[in-house]
Structure 1
Amino acid sequence: MSSDPWGRVDETGTVYVRTADGEQVVGSWAAGSPEEALAYFERKYEGLVVEIGLLEKRVQTTDLSAKDAQTAIDHLREQVDAHHAVGDLAALRERLDKLVKTVESRREERKQQRAKQSDEARKAKEDLVVEAEQLAQSDQWRAAGERLRSLVDTWKGLPRLDRKSDDELWHRFSHARSAFSKRRKAHFAQLDAQREEARQTKERLVAEAEALSGSTDWGPTAARYRELMAEWKAAGRAQREHEDDLWNRFRGAQDVFFAARSSVFAERDAEQSENLKLKEELAGEAEKLLPIGDLKSVRAAFRSINERWEAIGHVPRDARPKVEGRMHAVERAIQDAEETEWRRTNPEARARAAGLTGQLQAAVDKLKAQIEQARAQGNSSKADKLERELEGRQALLDQALKGLQEFGG
């Protein structure tokens, strides 16, 4: 018979392990000496010690789930309770009991951590919703639109809440975005309507200006042109594809009248020379506004310069293109800056520009066909009339194409 502090082998080869409840049968050993039998079952005990040690380390140092840890503990406990090893089995049970408490503690920590993360995610999403609802009332179309897109990206990076809470918050968030988009669309629709109204007003002003261009009633007609100019400025900007053509016609009609008046009042050349000097000074003052920094302040400064410009009166005819060209270059730079800002907040403009270009091209093609037909029929009068109409349509088409190119199309 052989024995050690934790087990023994009797004369029949039966192996026992000592426990607090008395000896328990470990197994039988028929092949070999009793010492070999004890050594075999002591190695099985050491194997359990190693497995428990590894499990303890995994629980402490890895993200092993509580469920998987408990399954492993139960498996080891079954082996310990089966008494198929010789050693201090009570100590192993104590270690397993302690490990159960550790797993439960980790389970509770993770539960609290998940609750904390959920609370943080809820707070973050509530903050996003509140900001989105505030942005929904903003008139800063570009900045607010970009910020809303950024909020969507932030939202996507946050963990989901419970379905009900997540759906409720997303509904508010989505509703705020929709409300902003609706207001933005209405704003630009109104802006388009204002530009169309301005175009109609300027068409009327052009018609009257052209009708007055042949007048020799110098005083009243000049006064009326000043009134027409004030109405022109008050009308606002028409669509880009119409504005320059209308202005050229309007300004051209005035040029005809004032050129005639200048020829009659040649004695005013001296006064006009002085006007030229003043306007050259104003043109220089206007040119100092470039390059444009703060659009709003530049626009206000140019308006002040332009009011003084208009108050000065006419300059010698041969000098006017150059000095007015200097002012117009500054004005065009300001208008381009305004147009660029407007285009950035109006993505529908390109589509409309493309549509208008197509319409104008069709009109030009149709006129060309009608001219050919009139020539073929020998109707020169009709052909000449259509040629004049074609020139106007072609000018509009050229302007529309230029505008479309500026959109990158």
Structure 2
Amino acid sequence: MSSDPWGRVDETGTVYVRTADGEKVVGSWQAGSPEEALAYFERKYEGLVVEIGLLEKRVKTTDLSAKDAQAAVDHLREQVDAHHAVGDLDALRARLDKLVALVETRREERKAQRAKQSDEARGAKEALVAEAEELARSDQWRAAGERLRSLVDTWKGLPRLDRKSDDELWHRFSHARSAFSKRRKQHFAQLDSQREEARRTKERLVAEAEALSSSTDWGPTAARYRDLMSEWKAAGRAQREHEDDLWNRFRGAQDVFFAARSSVFAERDAEQAENLKLKEELAEEAEKLLPVTDLKAARAAFRSVNERWEAIGHVPRDARPKVEGRMHAVERALQEAEETEWRRTNPEARARAEGLTGQLQAAVDKLRSQIEQARAQGNNAKADKLERELEGRQALLDQALKGLHEFGG
């Protein structure tokens, strides 16, 4: 008979293991000595120790699922409960019990982690849906479209939720993308229609601009070109492949017209500059007629100057007021001289002036006599009133005398 602290072999070769519940039969050994039997079953025990140690390590350090870990524990427990090893089997059972508790803890931790991840994924997907629904109303077609594509990639990287929640959120997300795509498609369809209308309008404007390019009706044509430009801007843009070509034709037609107008205007400006020089010489000649000493000769000389003036064409617009003003000043001086001569030589006017002067002189004399009489009577108030009236009559008399003097009287 042979034994050790955890087992023994009896005379029949039966091997026993000691447990807290008493001895348990391990097996029968007939092939060798009892020591060899114990050593064999002790090696079986060491094998179980190694397997349990490896399982403990896997549970603690890897992502072994709780299901697989529990299956491994159950498999090892069957081997321990089968008592086919010699050693401290109760210690192995205790280690397996601890492993069960650890697996359960890991199961709860992973359950909580999955719940947290699910909540985070739900929150993330709800945020994506809210942003997508906001973008669905945007008119920033390029930026919103790119952002929606980015949101799809983000969505694909998130964990799935329960089927019902995930399907509901995806339906909203997909609907928002579809709504945006539909609006964008309608917008660009409308834009295409507007650009086609703009192309037809601009082709009409180009045709008219090209027809006007050879016009020599400078003012009205230039005004029409300005109107055409306003219509061009109001028409909006045509398709990109047409816009530049239409603009080049439109601008080219205007350039032809305005280049021709500029050439003609340059010749006209040169001619008008020469006309200005000639009119300035005539204005200087007219100014030499002043002051008027011989009215008849001055009138004849001015008439000659004016005839030559009328024969000369236009001068530059900005120079016209000054040079014409010089001629008008001479003309007004001649007219004033004529009026003065007429008044001087008009008998009726002279008679009227003499009559008025006489009447005013008589009135003045009468007032002076009345003033002297009032003073003599001591009526100073009446005298003061008459003196104020005398001042007015005297002023009229002085003016009449001046006019009479112009008649040489």
**Structure (1 or 2) with the larger CA radius of gyration:** 2
Q: By how many angstroms is 1:102 displaced? A: 0.9
Listed one character per residue, the Cα deviations across residues 258-277 of structure 1 (whole Å, up to 9, x for unaligned) are 45655554455479999999
SS at structure 1 position matched to 2:317: coil
Q: Select between 254-263 and 383-392 the one with higher mean Cα deviation.
A: 383-392
Residue of structure 2 equivalent to 1:243 = 243
Change (3 A) 1:382 1:266: farther
Is the 8 Å Cα contact of residues 283 and 326 (structure 1) preserved in structure 2?
yes
| Deviation string, structure 1 residues 64-103 (Cα, Å, up to 9, x no partner) | 2222222221122112212222222211111111111111
- In structure 2, relative to structure 1, the CA distance for the partners of 1:16 and 1:217 (3 Å cut) is closer
CA distance 1:22–1:138, change in 2 (3 Å):
same
In structure 2, C-alpha distance between the alignment counterparts of 1:265 and 1:210, rounded to whole Å: 21
Cα distance in 2, alignment partners of residues 345 and 26 from structure 1: 171
- Counterpart CA distance in 2 for 1:350 and 1:168 is 116
Sort the Cα spacing of 1:240 and 1:224 in 2 relative to 1 into closer, same or farther, 3 A: same
Q: What SS does structure 2 have at the residue aligned with 1:25?
A: strand
In the TM superposition, residue 32 of structure 1 has moved relative to its aligned partner by 2.8
- Point out the more displaced range, 250-259 or 317-326: 317-326
> Which of 1 and 2 has higher RCO (CA within 8 Å, sep 6+)?
1
Task: Quote the offset at 1:345 in angstroms.
Answer: 92
Quickly say closer, same or farther: Cα 1:336–1:367, change in 2 above 3 A: farther
Is residue 73 of structure 1 aligned with residue 67 of structure 2? Answer: no
- Mapped to 2, the partners of 1:69 and 1:345 lie a distance apart of 145
Please name the residue that 1:381 is paired with.
381
Please say which of residues 339-348 and 40-49 is displaced more in the overlay: 339-348
Q: Is the 8 A contact 1:142 1:345 kept in 2?
A: no
Tell which deviates more after alignment, 356-365 or 141-150: 356-365
> 2:189, 2:346 → 1: CA distance?
10
Greater Cα shift, 374-383 or 131-140 = 374-383
Residues 1:146 and 1:80: Cα distance change in structure 2 (over 3 Å): same
Moved more, 238-247 or 123-132: 238-247
% identity of equivalent residues: 91
Contact 2:295 2:334 in 1 (8 A): yes
Name whichever of 328-337 and 315-324 sits farther off. 328-337
Residue 264 (1) aligns with residue 264 (2): yes
Structure 1 stretch displaced more, 289-298 or 242-251: 289-298
Q: 1:33 to 1:112 in 2, by over 3 A?
A: same
Query: In the alignment, is the contact (CA less than 8 A) between 2:59 and 2:103 conserved in 1?
Result: yes
Instruction: Evaluate the alpha carbon distance shift between residue 88 and residue 175 of structure 1 in structure 2; reply closer, same or farther with a 3 A threshold.
Output: same
For normalisation by structure 2, the TM-score amounts to 0.60
User: Structure 1 stretch 305-314 or stretch 355-364: which is displaced more?
Assistant: 355-364
Query: TM-score, structure 1 length as denominator?
Result: 0.60
CA 2–349 in structure 1, closer or farther in 2 if over 3 Å, else same? farther
| Structure 2 CA distance for aligned equivalents of residues 45 and 209 of structure 1 | 106
Answer whether contact 1:241 1:399 (CA < 8 A) is retained. no
Q: Distance in 2 between matches of 1:370 and 1:225?
A: 83
Deviates more, 1:160-169 or 1:383-392: 383-392
Alignment deviations for residues 101-137 of structure 1 (CA, whole Å, 9 cap, x no partner): 1111111111122222222222222221111111222
* Cα pair 2:70 2:103 within 8 Å, conserved: yes
Q: Note the aligned Cα RMSD (angstroms).
A: 35.5
| 1:9 shift after superposition | 2.3
| Cα displacement (A) at 1:250 | 3.9
Q: Deviations over 1:181-210 (max 9, x none)?
A: 222222222222222222333333344445
For 1:231 and 1:282, locate their aligned partners in 2 and report how far apart those are by CA, in whole Å: 49
SS in structure 1 opposite 2:318?
coil
> May I ask how many residue pairs the two structures share in their alignment?
409
Cα distance, 1:35 vs. partner? 2.8
Q: Which moved more, 1:38-47 or 1:128-137?
A: 38-47
Residue by residue over 1:355-382, the C-alpha shift from the partner in whole angstroms, topping out at 9 and shown as x without a partner, is 9999999999999999999999999999
